[in-house]
C-alpha cells in the first residue's frame, strides 16, 4: 500500500494525473461525505420535502445544479430512514455524482429509453421523474436478486412506466431500437474507494480493473448497436481511471461510430474536476461532497 491505497492504483493515478492531482484524489478518498438525497417528483415535490425537514429542524443545503436535490447537514442515514417520506418513497438517498448522468441524458416525453445496468434503480426512477413520468424505460439487470430489488424500488416510487428485464444487456436482441440509452457501466469503483476500508488491498485489484474494462467495452458496443442513428446516449462510471473511460470511448470514436457532445462542466461549480483526454467529458474528483465519477454524452453517427 502507498498512501493507504493499493500500490498499482497509486502508480496508475500518478501516470494519468501527476503527483499533485493524485494527492488531491487520495485526500478525497479520506473524506466522509454528507448524506444527499433527491425528492421523488413522481410522488412529491421539493417544497413538501423541505417543509417536512423544517418541521423536524433538520438542516439542509440546496444543490445549485439540481433543484430537486438536497445536501443534509449532520443528519444520519438512520434518521432519514425512520421518516415516513423515506418509507413511502417520496425521497431517494443518492450521491450527488450519481444524479448527474440522468440529468445529462435529459429524458423527454414518449422517448423509449434503455437503462443497461439499472439496479438498484436510483437513476432509473430519476429518469422517469425528469420526464414527468412520460418516458418509457426498459431497465436491464442480469442478477435476479438485484432485479427484485430494482422492482421493489420502482414500485415504492410509483415508477410504473418501466419494464424490467432480467437479462444481461449484452445479450439483448439487435432488433431492439432506442431513442436514448443510459450506460452506467459496472466498474472498479476507483472513484468511490475509502482509505479506511481494511479490505481494500484484497478487493480492489488489477484484475478487477481489467475485467471491468472488458465488460464496459462490450456494453458500449451493444449500446451503439441498439441506439438509433443520430440519437444520444450517456456513458458513465464511478471510476476515474482512463482504462475504464477514455480508452474505451476512444476506440469507438476512432471507428467513427460515435462522437462526443460537450457537457457544460461550468454548471458543477463546487466540484473538483479532473482533466480528461476526451474533450467535453466530465470527470469529477472524489472530495468532501462528490464521489469520483466519469460522464460522457455521446451521439451515434
- Residue 3 has a pLDDT of 87
Percent of the chain with pLDDT over 70: 100
Given 93, 121, 140, the domain boundary residue is 93
Phi, psi of 240 (to 5 degrees): -115, 15
pLDDT at 276: 98
Question: Can you state the angle between helices 122-130 and 96-105, rounded to 10 degrees?
Answer: 40
DSSP tag of 22:
H
**pLDDT reported for residue 269:** 86
Q: How many CB atoms sit inside 10 A of residue 183's CB?
A: 25
Residues with Cβ within 8 Å of 277's Cβ and at least 6 positions away in sequence, in order, are 242, 246, 250
In a domain, 13, yes or no: no
Number of domains within the chain: 2
What is the residue-averaged pLDDT of the chain? Answer: 97
- Helix-helix angle 122-130:144-156, to 10 degrees: 40
C-beta atoms surrounding 235 within 10 Å: 28
pLDDT digits (tens, 9 = 90+) for 274-293: 999 999 999 999 999 999 99
For residue 260, is pLDDT > 90? yes
Domain check: are 105 and 250 in the same one?
Answer: yes
CB atoms within 10 A of CB 259: 13
Q: In this structure, are 65 and 174 located in the same domain? A: no
**Structural domain boundaries enclosing 154:** 97-300
Q: Which of 52, 61, 125, 59 is nearest to 86 (CA)?
A: 52
pLDDT, tens digit, 9 for 90 and up, residues 111-169: 999 999 999 999 999 999 999 999 999 999 999 999 999 999 999 999 999 999 999 99
Q: How many C-beta atoms lie closer than 10 Å to residue 103's C-beta?
A: 20
10 within some domain: no
At residue 214, φ and ψ (nearest 5 deg) are -65, -45
Q: What is the CATH number of the domain that holds 52?
A: 3.30.70.1170
Same domain for 242 and 105, yes or no, is yes
Residues linked to residue 162 through DSSP beta bridges, in sequence order: 137
- Tell which of 93, 109, 134 closes a domain: 93
What's the pTM? 0.97
The pLDDT assigned to 1 comes to 86
Asked whether residue 29 is assigned to any structural domain, the reply reads: no
Residues 256 and 109 occupy one common structural domain: yes
Please say if 238 is a catalytic residue. Answer: yes
Domain-located, residue 51 = yes
Strand order in the sheet with 66-73: 59-63, 66-73, 36-39, 91-93
C-alpha cell at 148: 427484485
Bond prior to 120 in cis (omega within 30° of 0): yes
Q: Are residues 134 and 76 in the same domain?
A: no
pLDDT digits (tens, 9 = 90+) for 95-123: 999 999 999 999 999 999 999 999 999 99
With a cut of 90, say whether residue 266 has pLDDT above it: yes
Which residue among the candidates 187, 238, 283, 285 is catalytic per the annotation?
238
Amino acid at each position: 500500500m502507498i498512501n493507504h491505497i493499493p500500490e498499482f492504483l497509486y502508480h496508475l493515478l500518478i501516470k494519468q494525473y501527476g503527483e499533485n492531482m493524485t494527492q488531491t484524489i487520495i485526500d478525497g478518498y479520506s473524506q466522509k461525505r454528507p448524506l444527499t438525497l433527491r425528492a421523488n417528483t413522481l410522488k412529491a415535490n421539493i417544497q413538501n420535502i423541505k417543509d417536512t425537514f423544517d418541521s423536524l429542524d433538520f438542516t439542509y443545503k440546496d444543490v445549485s445544479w439540481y433543484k430537486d436535490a438536497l445536501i443534509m447537514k449532520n443528519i444520519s442515514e438512520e434518521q432519514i430512514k425512520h421518516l415516513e417520506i423515506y418509507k413511502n418513497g417520496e425521497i431517494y438517498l443518492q450521491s450527488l455524482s450519481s444524479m448527474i448522468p440522468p440529468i445529462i441524458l435529459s429524458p423527454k416525453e414518449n422517448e423509449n429509453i434503455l437503462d443497461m445496468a439499472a439496479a438498484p434503480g436510483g437513476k432509473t426512477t430519476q429518469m422517469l421523474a425528469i420526464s414527468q413520468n412520460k418516458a418509457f424505460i426498459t431497465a436491464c439487470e442480469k442478477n435476479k436478486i438485484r432485479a427484485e430489488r430494482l422492482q421493489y424500488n420502482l414500485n415504492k416510487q410509483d415508477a410504473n412506466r418501466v419494464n424490467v428485464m432480467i437479462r444481461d444487456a449484452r445479450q439483448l436482441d439487435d432488433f431492439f431500437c432506442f431513442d436514448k440509452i443510459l450506460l452506467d457501466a459496472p466498474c472498479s469503483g476507483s472513484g468511490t474507494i475509502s482509505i479506511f476500508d481494511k479490505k481494500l488491498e484484497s478487493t480492489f485489484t488489477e484484475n478487477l480493473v481489467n475485467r471491468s474494462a472488458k465488460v464496459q467495452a462490450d456494453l458500449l458496443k451493444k449500446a451503439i448497436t441498439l441506439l438509433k442513428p443520430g440519437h444520444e446516449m450517456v456513458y458513465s462510471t464511478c471510476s476515474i481511471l482512463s482504462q475504464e473511460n477514455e480508452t474505451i470511448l476512444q476506440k469507438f470514436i476512432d471507428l467513427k461510430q460515435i462522437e462526443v457532445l460537450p457537457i457544460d462542466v461550468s454548471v458543477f461549480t463546487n466540484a473538483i474536476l479532473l482533466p480528461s483526454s476526451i474533450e467535453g467529458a466530465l470527470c469529477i474528483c472524489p472530495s468532501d461532497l462528490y464521489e469520483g465519477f466519469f460522464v460522457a454524452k455521446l451521439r451515434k453517427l
